[in-house]
Amino acid sequence: KKDSIAPTIVLLAISFVLCLMIINWLTIGVYALIRQCHHHQQQQVKETSECNNSFRFANVKLWLKENLGKSKTTPIDASIQVHQQLIV
C-alpha cells in the first residue's frame, strides 16, 4: 500500500502546481487586458480633448473674424463687448 500512496501524492502535487500556474497566467492575462483597455481609453480621451480644443479655437477664431472684421473695434473693445454680453 505504501507504493500506491507515493504516486498519488506526486500526482496531487503536480496537479496543484499546474492549477497555481494556470491561475497565475489568467491573472497576468486579465491584468494585461485591463491595462491595455485603460491605455486605449486614456488615448481616446486625449484625442477627444485635443479635438474639442481645436474645435473651440476654430469657433473663437471664426467669431473674432466675423465680429471684428465687420467693425472697426479693437480687440480690447471686442473683449469688453463680449464681457457685457456674458453679463446680460
Query: Count of CB atoms within 10 A of residue 23's CB?
Result: 10
Please write the tens of the pLDDT for every residue from 10-51: 999 999 999 999 999 999 999 999 999 888 888 887 777 766
Please write the tens of the pLDDT for every residue from 4-21: 888 889 999 999 999 999
**Average pLDDT value for residue range 61-88:** 61
- Spatial distance between the Cα atoms of 85 and 10, rounded to a whole number of angstroms: 83
4 compared with 80, residue with greater pLDDT: 4
User: For position 7, what pLDDT does the model report?
Assistant: 86
**Average pLDDT value for residue range 68-74:** 58
Count of structural domains, the chain: 1
- Spatial distance between the Cα atoms of 56 and 59, rounded to a whole number of angstroms: 5
State the residue for C-alpha cell 507515493: 6
| Mean pLDDT score of the chain | 77
Instruction: Give CA 21 to chain center in angstroms.
Output: 31
Q: What is the pTM of this model?
A: 0.44
Expressed as residue numbers, the domain containing 17 is: 2-87
30 touches 41 (CB < 8 A): no
